[in-house]
């Protein structure tokens, strides 16, 4: 087995896990100290709490509050190694992965890379809109949002100001709904105080959804309630409206409508990235890799996939599991147990997804929750959303700082982290 010189050969089987998201983190936690050598690969040296990216983008939280250093998380764990690297390909015949730091051999490989932004082949939209699939992208979105309002102060006409002030959110899933609601709260409580020279009655916030309703994966009650909340907050909701183009100034819709906006926030979909060497793997809906009920890739020996990349069906989910955190976490938990059972030559346990419910926050005191046949919204749903997300955050200190930020924002009607932080010029 090939190995980088600085990853020692172990007497224990080596499991390489690529991706430190929800699935990767849960899997590693289930495998450490179990007589495996665990090698974790990620492009960043921290775990990111994806459901709160939008709060970084809208100045509600510091980036460090939703990120946790991986090395700190696994300090002192024997036979565990983390390497910060990009996955460049897989060579199943040699049982090694190709990365930006070299080749790493494996006995068992688990891919938990998650998904990337899907622009549905529209290059113009990809170039001109803002995505939010990482902490760095969330910071970039925050910078551009704030820079636009700084720039609006210096524009000569009201039409120019209105164009740069208008916000278009594309995608009516939980991320899009939360972004639109957060922007509406900022328009009401924050921006008028920061920019008194601008007339925010002319600022418009749109949320566009290609399907016939918002929050399509959730209940009809949640969709209807969230739509009402957003409309009451001044957001223009357009369904059955797909984006056909955006040149940086005008959004063209499938309905023939045009929206003038200098800021399009893209939350419309995800796709699975291509991985060189995996061409023989079958692909399912959305380009996801088809796996069996044990998360194995049938086309390759000793390769497993969990989370958003995996397309696994069961009777209750004939089109695959939702690409959200809970299926990823549950798949990883079971895979950790099955890898232990495999080593002991025990029968593997098939995966069954247990839906613990769905939720989305819309704004201050407003959220929707689906738990089985129970559907409700309002203040209670908002409190439950807060508690669930606080408990899911990695790190006690992070939970504390997030709680303090949320309490301050709630009491003062202010999001105090409105900083434009640019990258320094590269050293020559």
User: What SS3 class is residue 289?
Assistant: strand
- pLDDT tens for each residue of 37-88: 999 999 999 999 999 999 999 988 888 899 999 999 999 999 999 999 999 9
**What domains does the chain contain, in order, with CATH numbers?**
14-115+272-343 (3.50.50.60), 123-269 (3.50.50.100)
Contacts of 402 (CB under 8 A, 6+ apart): 52, 61, 65, 66, 390, 393
Assign residue 333 a region: left if phi > 0, alpha if psi is -120 to 50, beta otherwise?
Answer: alpha
DSSP letter at 23? H
Question: Under a CB-based contact definition with an 8 Å cutoff, are residues 181 and 363 in contact?
Answer: yes
pLDDT at 423 > cutoff 70: no
pLDDT band for position 2 (cuts 50, 70, 90): very low
The pTM score is: 0.91
Dump pLDDT digits (tens) for 174-190: 999 999 999 999 999 98
pLDDT over 60 at 128, yes or no: yes
As a whole number of angstroms, the distance between CA 377 and CA 206 comes to: 22
- Among 109-118, 201-210, 414-423, the minimum mean pLDDT is found in 414-423
Could you read off the pLDDT of 355-411 as tens digits, one per residue?
Answer: 999 999 999 999 999 999 999 999 999 999 999 999 999 888 889 989 998 998 888
pLDDT at position 329, please? 97
Share of the chain above pLDDT 70, in %: 97
The residue that leads in pLDDT, 160 or 6, is: 160
Banded pLDDT at 4 (limits 50, 70, 90): low
The pLDDT of residue 424 is above 70? no
Mean pLDDT of 132-139: 91
Task: Enter the DSSP assignment of 296.
Answer: B
Q: Give me the DSSP letters along 224-238.
A: HHHHHHHHHTTEEEE
């Amino acid at each position: 087995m090939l190995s980088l010189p600085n990853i020692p050969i172990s007497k224990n089987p080596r499991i390489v896990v690529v991706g430190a998201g929800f699935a990767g983190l849960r899997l590693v936690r289930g495998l450490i100290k179990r007589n495996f050598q665990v090698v974790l690969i990620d492009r960043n040296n921290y775990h990111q709490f994806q459901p709160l990216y939008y709060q970084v983008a809208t100045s509600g939280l510091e980036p460090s509050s939703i990120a946790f250093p991986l090395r700190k998380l696994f300090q002192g764990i024997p036979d565990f190694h983390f390497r910060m690297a990009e996955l460049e390909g897989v060579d199943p015949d040699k049982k090694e992965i190709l990365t930006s730091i070299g080749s790493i051999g494996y006995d068992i490989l688990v891919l938990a890379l998650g998904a990337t932004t899907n622009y549905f082949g529209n290059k113009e939209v990809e170039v001109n809109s803002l995505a939010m699939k990482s902490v760095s992208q969330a910071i970039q979105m925050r910078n551009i949002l704030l820079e636009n309002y700084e720039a609006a102060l210096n524009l000569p006409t009201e039409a120019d100001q209105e164009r740069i002030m208008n916000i278009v959110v594309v995608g009516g899933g939980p991320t899009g709904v939360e972004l639109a609601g957060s922007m509406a709260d900022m328009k009401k409580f924050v921006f008028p105080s920061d920019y008194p020279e601008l007339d925010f009655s002319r600022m418009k916030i749109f949320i566009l959804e290609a399907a016939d309703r918002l929050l399509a994966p959730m209940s009809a009650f949640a969709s209807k309630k969230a739509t009402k909340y957003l409309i009451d907050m001044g957001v223009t909701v357009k369904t059955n409206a797909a984006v056909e183009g955006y040149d940086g100034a005008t959004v063209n819709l499938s309905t023939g409508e045009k929206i003038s906006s200098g800021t399009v926030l893209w939350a419309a979909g995800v796709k699975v990235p291509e991985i060189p060497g995996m061409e023989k793997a079958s692909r399912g809906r959305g380009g996801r890799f088809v796996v069996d009920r044990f998360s194995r890739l049938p086309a390759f020996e000793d390769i497993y996939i969990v989370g958003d990349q995996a397309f696994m069906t069961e009777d209750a989910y004939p089109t695959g599991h939702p690409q959200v955190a809970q299926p990823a976490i549950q798949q990883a938990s079971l895979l950790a147990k099955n890898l232990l059972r495999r080593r002991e030559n025990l029968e593997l346990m098939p995966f069954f997804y247990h839906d613990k419910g769905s939720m989305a926050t819309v704004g201050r005191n407003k959220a929707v929750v689906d738990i089985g046949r129970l559907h409700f919204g309002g203040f209670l749903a908002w409190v439950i959303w807060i508690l669930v997300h606080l408990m899911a955050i990695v790190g006690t200190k992070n939970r504390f700082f997030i709680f303090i930020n949320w309490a301050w924002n709630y009491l003062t009607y202010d999001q105090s982290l409105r900083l434009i932080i640019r990258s320094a010029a590269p050293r020559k």
